[in-house]
Amino acid sequence: MAKRLHLIGLVAALLAAVATPASAAGEPRMTLEEKVGQLFVTYAYGATADTTDPAHVAANRKELGVDNAKQLIEKYHLGGVIYFAWAGNTANPAQTAGLSNGLQSASRLPLLISTDQEHGVVYRVGEPATQFPGNMTLGAARDPGLARTAAGIAGRELRAMGINQNYAPDADVNVNPLNPVIGARSFAEDPQLAARLTAAQVDGYQGGGVAATAKHFPGHGDTAVDSHTGIPVITHTREQWEELDAPPFRTAIGSGIDSIMTGHLVVPALDPSGDPATLSKPIITGLLRERLGYRGVVVTDSLGMAGVRQKYGDARVPVLALKAGVDQLLKPPNIDLAYNAVLKAVRDGELTEARIDESVRRILKLKRDRGLFKNRYVDPKPVVGVPSSLRAAQDVADHGTTVLRNSVLPLREKPAKVLVTGWGTTAEPAPAKLGQALVGRGAATTVLPTGAKPTQVQIDAAVAAATDLNVVVTNNASAEQQRLVKALQDTGKRVVVVGVREPYEVASLPGVTYLATYSYARPALESAVRVIYGEVGPRGKLPVTVPGHFPFGHGLAWRV
């Protein structure tokens, strides 16, 4: 029989109502298998916990070895589940709430149900939930109060749908314009501004009932490699790390943040072994736990990412992460392999059961602090996206929209005809959203989305359709997007570029009127139209430097 631990004190109190069997003294007990299960967080396909949808069942069998989430929880005693839109988990608020309640019913202990709802350019729950522009917009707005309000609303809406842990805010300080994975997910290149806004969002999320998660420790802001596809190496000295990367994590800890996510980053000045931070005891235990004094839950970034898989095999990674000091193991590429690898490491003596108990206690304390032992269920008809919340999102966007270069705004007269073209996808139809806003103002609007790399045929069609006002959406402007903008400029007609991600691209778009929204959320695009039409004046200030072109803090402004 598996060795059992008598959970006393705090954990005993947490589990008293749900744990069985009990010892003679009345103390609840957990098996080793149950305790190891508490460490894992993974996904499952399906709109319900017991889905019978053939496509979702087939995907679950192929990737997880079970039919549905209910079987997954029962087999591995999971401590948490993560939601994704691509897994069919977040179709609408009522469906998501029903899934959350179903998952909680399937588990003996309350589950941490998480997602990545950073807003801006990373979100898993779409409309009708309130969509905020995101971190870099908040950095441009420079207002911790707005950051706190946004996170509070987002937290309450997530909790209403049964999501009780959010992998936000991103606390990385984006000092590298070539960063391929953080960019607009960061508040700013200024560590003190990022720190103030991180602390405000921690207060907001957790005040809204959701565990906040600062990421990606020790800081992913100065990388030119995406840790999804490679191993970033950060060459900051220890002194540079203290000055540039540490401040947002320090303020998050000072604000009582519930969880911190590790980054799959090699930082030789912090650990010369070459191990990524997720697997580094000097970084997780020595720096985060001992130096910074963090006592909360440490969760890994996805263990399916290349940054953590290239040096060790998938059976070693979860064991090494636990030895480093993490608590939650997120999204291993093979849940059965990872779960049994941890069990084996304990039974072989590589990991002690006392070490497992440390993480279990932190996880259970977090669940208690979020009120899950009192009530893990939510109303099956959650209320989200109410008018006051939508107004708050629009207020954030209006404070953050930044005009970097201008020759035509504000418009003195409303144009009769408008062309909207440029970047957009089926999932993120930015030109269509802009078109809707313009039609609502009486403009005859032509919408010609081109995707990320407009073809010459698409460029020619846009030139042929050029009219009184031509609005081009760009997203990290590719060479093809640059040619589209130049071709429309060459018509001699008015052109306005709306940049919906990092503003560094303005350097490759000379001479054109340029608005940075840092986001393609609906409020951000509405704000761009408001500025173009002179309904509001631009108020945002660049939260990053555009090297050789615009300094940190640049932003044109005018009264309306």
Taking the C-alpha atoms of residue 366 and residue 39, their distance in angstroms, rounded to an integer, is: 13
Taking the C-alpha atoms of residue 374 and residue 367, their distance in angstroms, rounded to an integer, is: 10
Q: Which residue in 50, 53, 226, 228 is the catalytic one?
A: 228
Amino acid at 308: V
DSSP-derived secondary structure letter, 504:
G
Question: Of 426, 398, 386, 380, which Cα lies nearest the Cα of 130?
Answer: 386
Residue 486 buriedness (CB in 10 A; 0-12 / 13-18 / 19+): middle
Q: Is 228 a catalytic residue?
A: yes
Q: Which residue in 301, 327, 398, 554 is the catalytic one?
A: 301
Distance spanning both ends of the chain, measured CA to CA: 75
Q: Is 56 a catalytic residue?
A: no
* CA–CA distances in Å: residue 157 to residues 35, 89, 144, 162: 30, 15, 20, 9
Q: Which residues pair with 121 in a beta bridge?
A: none
Taking the C-alpha atoms of residue 341 and residue 318, their distance in angstroms, rounded to an integer, is: 8
Taking the C-alpha atoms of residue 149 and residue 45, their distance in angstroms, rounded to an integer, is: 32
Taking the C-alpha atoms of residue 546 and residue 523, their distance in angstroms, rounded to an integer, is: 24
For 166, the 3-state DSSP assignment is strand
Taking the C-alpha atoms of residue 291 and residue 35, their distance in angstroms, rounded to an integer, is: 28
Please report, for the chain, how many H helices and E strands are present, in that order.
Answer: 20, 16
On the question of a cis peptide bond just before residue 216, with omega within 30 degrees of 0, the verdict is: yes
Question: Of 327, 173, 344, 333, which Cα lies nearest the Cα of 258?
Answer: 327
- Long-range pairs for 6-12: beta carbons < 8 A, 24 or more residues apart: 7/361, 10/361, 10/364, 10/365, 10/368, 11/360, 11/361, 11/364, 11/365
Taking the C-alpha atoms of residue 119 and residue 134, their distance in angstroms, rounded to an integer, is: 5
Residues noted as catalytic = 228, 301
